[in-house]
Structure 1
């Protein structure tokens, strides 16, 4: 059983989900079929994993992205069925061309819908400290990453998304809860 789309209704009528059932899917009356039916109709939430990577001077690595004006922490969208830490490692391998190891989870940050994007949960992982020359080994994926830069606090404030700035401020202050909710961003 798979979700094929949403039929939008007019007025106060509820929207309807279109589901597809393949010939080899279990019957909807079976336990497995019933779970598949429920799963196909449940809401999905985008999961993003980002990494906090610092150089020996304490500067933070930011990426200049092709699809938005603000810079952001390295990382990206986690694939369906992929663990957030593994998704971060894969995204960095794909976009920066290097291997990193996601260490401890620093926080989970809920992002409200923004500029046409649906809401999402961001997992922020510590990537440790590296020599600043680490960026010399990057092979940037040009469809997503225009550049990278080690940024001090002032540069982060000037270039990064408001959500990233707020999250990094919480890291710096030591007041970082396990779960956070970012305020709505400007349109």
Structure 2
């Protein structure tokens, strides 16, 4: 591991912390929101970079709180401002299709009028379209991880922390 001349001494608190931070693993954190309409349908995003649809949200930036990251992602990608309510669960995802493992923070975004989608400004590099989906549409269109997660939400069997099953490649 290289050190620069102006790095704090390795035997100091700051130097020791810097050495550990440089070598310890990092974990990707994703925040997603569960947004329902007045009919109980779930909002899913049709993405530009994968075939399956997914819950709105995205990767949390370094130093950013998961709830703040979710608000930022929905402002950037959908052009809406949301109120983040309760944390529903933290869902660990194993590595899949070349992606490293990650932790998803799933937040409740409440119930809104379905017409909210008419006023959305979609970020075209990431979002093709948004769709209100009933359970059968979720099962036919969503990512396997989102299907499994939403079925657990609907069954009421959602612990504070969970581990998603490994998905087939």
Map of 1:52 onto structure 2: 34
Unmatched 5+ stretches in structure 1? 1-18
**Cα shift at 1:39:** 1.1
Establish whether residue 79 from structure 1 lines up as the match of residue 79 from structure 2. Answer: no
**Cα shift at 1:181:** 0.7
User: Equivalents in 2 of 1:34, 1:128: separation in Å?
Assistant: 44
Report SS of the residue matched to 2:54: coil
- Alignment partner of 1:173 out of 155, 163, 166: 155
- Alignment partner of 2:80 out of 98, 116, 119: 98
RMSD: 1.0
Report SS of the residue matched to 1:40: helix
Map of 1:69 onto structure 2: 51
**Cα shift at 1:26:** 1.5
Q: Say how many residue pairs are matched.
A: 169
> TM-score w.r.t. structure 2 length?
0.97
> TM-score w.r.t. structure 1 length?
0.88
User: Equivalents in 2 of 1:45, 1:150: separation in Å?
Assistant: 31
Q: Pick 1 or 2: higher relative contact order, CA cutoff 8 A, min separation 6.
A: 2
